[in-house]
Amino acid sequence: MIYEKSCGAVIFHPGAGGERLYLVELMRKGHRSLCKGHVENNETEHETAAREIREETGLSVVFVDGFRETIEYSPYPGCTKTVVFFLAGSESDGVKAQEEEVREIDWLPFEEASAALTFDSDRDVLRKAETFLNRKGGSL
């Protein structure tokens, strides 16, 4: 059995009208997802998430303490993959998509972001992040 691990984040930004916006990526493979990528070498989970966010979006983010969600699935027969998601805020909405992997990046309100995501597991993580932020007060 092959085991893979990726880390990423639900990334949010305060929109112009005060509405919280979430980052959704349209990947080259055609699905819409949250930002994530494979752990490299001896990186910590946060180091992996921060690197992947920088590589895929060009953003520097601030992680919100207390949020960590995991999903597990099988991307292909004989492989189990774990993805760890954190919650991260960005002061900037200026992004630059990593052309090799990401076709486009959108900032969307919660309902639109949820509808745009391809996989139910990503929608579930996004819903948990929205609930967490609403309880916390919703800022960085």
d(CA 125, CA 140): 18
CATH fold of the domain at 2-136: Nucleoside Triphosphate Pyrophosphohydrolase (3.90.79)
pLDDT tier for residue 18 given thresholds of 50, 70 and 90 = confident
Sign of CA dihedral 51, 61, 35, 132: positive
Mean pLDDT of the chain: 94
Report the DSSP beta bridge partners of residue 104: 26
Q: What is the mean pLDDT of residues 125-139?
A: 89
Asked whether residue 101 carries a pLDDT value surpassing 80, the answer given is yes
Asked whether residue 108 carries a pLDDT value surpassing 90, the answer given is yes
Asked whether residue 139 carries a pLDDT value surpassing 90, the answer given is no
Asked whether residue 4 carries a pLDDT value surpassing 80, the answer given is yes
d(CA 56, CA 78): 28
Percent over 70 (pLDDT), the chain: 98
- What is the pLDDT at residue 93? 87
Q: What is the pTM of this model?
A: 0.94
CB 97 within 8 A of CB 124: no
Domain ranges of the chain: 2-136
